[in-house]
Amino acid sequence: MSEKFGVKVEDIFNTMQERFRPEGAAGVDASFGYDIPGRGKWRLTVKDGTMKIEQADDLSGCVAVTRADPDTFVGVNIGKVDGTAAFTSGKISVEGDVGAVSTTFKLFKRFTPPKKELTVGEYILDMFGTLESRFQPQAAEGLDITIGYDIGGREGGRWTARIKDGKCTVKEGLALSPNLTMIVKAKDWVDLMLGEVDAMTLLSTGRAKVEGDMNLAVKLGELFAKYKAPGEEAEEGQQLLVLKKVISVGQRFATGPVMGKYLNGLKEKKILANKCPECGRTQVPPREICALCRVRCEEWVEVGPKGNVRLVDTAYYASPDPLSGETRETPYGLCYILLDGCKGQEVFAHFIRDDQLERIEMGWNEKKGTIVRPVWAEKRTGRVSDIKYFEIDE
């Protein structure tokens, strides 16, 4: 008689050795008993980072004995039944040291019922064969991009997805200059699509590489629906709802007289700073008070417009600007510039012209970095974008 989920109690115990995680056994030295009425009793012995599982009639000496009916036992082990709930409601009971039982949870990888397995090559063909049909046009509004997939290994291949005007066409082969290329071995790609490994793990450990616009990589999850293996039965589990929304709240910010004067200065292509009467520090953008001396700063000076670059922080990953909801194209350079008239740490933050990023030299102590000048926007309204960016002064 097989259990409700198509998995037998014996399967759980017979696979314990292969699911064992020795690192989870660090510090564990005990025997644990399992009593499944109608199926039998098992004894799990853990010692020195190794384990032994055997059927046993006698469970004496076990630090704890877990008792559960076969369906609950299997259900909890395959993640279909909530263990805590089963325990709380008495469907699982523990005789002995309850705390000790929780140490057994990290001993094993979760049991996954054997499913009809395709080969890696078959999965790859099916995944890319269904890519077009899984395209989500509503997530691709305004997009005109090419994504390259460079799947390595014997079972791999190369594909390009072209997304434009809300449509997606997938062809074999790699386009010349895709906006984004995913480079990953076939087995890793299959595991990723099946949810057996997550993208962050692959990227962080170098098993997957992303070339091009990293921001697009983040969007991939929305552009295509989740892959479902052929013939996969409807999940018996419960659907977990997620509500996704972009929350956009209108805001109005009062400038006050100090930032107001500064922002108005930008309209006239002037960068204004104010000075502390006690320590002589210039503040740009200006602040009403010098935080160090706690006094009002009422003396204004014009600084720059040129300066030398002290640091360029080149960003390869951009986050959305909450003021506009948009995300900057990468790579871009956020830089800190010591404008003429400022000294020491009194730096000014802005962007460097995208195509000049590599040519910028950074300053250090008395050594000056590349001299740059602001490039002003045609129409200036008193915002940070009145300066488009800084470029090399040549």
Partner 1 sequence: MKDGFDTTDCFVVEGKLALPYSYFAGRVGSKFLTTIRDEKRIMGIKCDKCKKVFVPPRQTCDVCMEDIRDNWVDVQNTGEVTNFTVVRYNDKHLPKKAPYILAMIKLDGADTSLVHVVEGMDVGKAKIGMKVQAVFARETTSTILDIDHFAPVS
Partner 2 sequence: MAHRKKNRNVGVIGVGQTKHSSHREDVTQPEMVHEAVREALEDAGLTMKDVDCIVHGNMELFEMIHQPDLWHELGTGAYGKNAFRLTTGGTTGATLFCAGDNLVASGMYDVALVIGFEKLQEGHTTGGITNMADPLWFRSLQTGALTGTCAYDVIQEFGEERATRAAMMYRIIMDQNACLNPKAHRAFGLEWDQMDHLIKTSAKLIGELKIIDMCSQSDGACAVIMACEEKAKALSDKPVWVRDHITVHREETINILGYDQATKEKMTHRFAAEQLFKRNGITNPVEYFDVFEMYDPSSWWGVDWLREFFLLEGDEHLKLVEEKEIAIEGKIPVNPSGGVIASNPIGATALVRPAEACLQVRGDAGAHQIPRPVNHALASGFGGTLWTVLILLEKELGW
* Residues of this chain that bind partner 2 (CB under 8 A): 23-24, 26-27, 105-106, 198, 200-201, 203-206, 209-210, 214, 240, 242, 247, 251, 253, 255, 259, 263, 283, 285, 287, 291-292, 310-311, 313-324, 334, 336, 338, 343-347, 349-351, 362-365, 384-385
Please state the closest distance from residue 362 (CB atom) to partner 2, in A. 7
Residue partners of 80: CB distance under 8 A and separation at least 6: 5, 236, 237
Q: Return the range that interacts with partner 1 (CB under 8 A); candidates 68-76, 78-86, 168-176, 223-231.
A: 78-86
Residue partners of 210: CB distance under 8 A and separation at least 6: 180, 181, 182, 183, 203, 217
Helix/strand/coil for 223: helix
Among 45, 130, 179, 264, binds partner 1 (CB under 8 A): 264
User: With respect to partner 1, which residue has the nearer C-beta, 79 or 129?
Assistant: 79
Say if CB 365 and CB 314 are below 8 A apart: no
User: With respect to partner 2, which residue has the nearer C-beta, 174 or 214?
Assistant: 214
Beta bridge partners of residue 314, listed in sequence order: 333
The DSSP result for 99-137, as a single string, is: HHHHHTGGGBPPP-----PPPHHHHHHHHHHSTGGGB-G
Q: Which does 264 bind (CB under 5 to 8 A by kind): partner 2, partner 1, none?
A: partner 1
**Edge-first strand listing for the sheet containing 167-172:** 167-172, 157-164, 144-152, 180-185, 208-212
Q: Which does 193 bind (CB under 5 to 8 A by kind): partner 1, partner 2, none?
A: none
Q: For the window 80-99, what string marks contact with partner 1 as x by the rule CB under 8 A?
A: --x-xx--xx----------
Q: Which does 204 bind (CB under 5 to 8 A by kind): partner 2, partner 1, none?
A: partner 2
User: With respect to partner 1, which residue has the nearer C-beta, 231 or 250?
Assistant: 250
User: With respect to partner 1, which residue has the nearer C-beta, 324 or 365?
Assistant: 324
What's the one-letter identity of residue 32? F
Please state the closest distance from residue 249 (CB atom) to partner 1, in A. 5
DSSP code for 57: S
Rounded Cα–Cα distance for residues 232 and 123 (Å): 13
DSSP code for 367: B
The answer to whether 288 contacts partner 1 (rule: CB under 8 A) is no
Rounded Cα–Cα distance for residues 108 and 100 (Å): 15
User: With respect to partner 1, which residue has the nearer C-beta, 63 or 301?
Assistant: 301
The answer to whether 102 contacts partner 1 (rule: CB under 8 A) is no
Residue partners of 221: CB distance under 8 A and separation at least 6: none
Question: Which residue ranges make up the site for partner 1 (CB under 8 A)?
Answer: 82, 84-85, 88-89, 238-258, 260-261, 263-264, 320, 322-325, 382-383
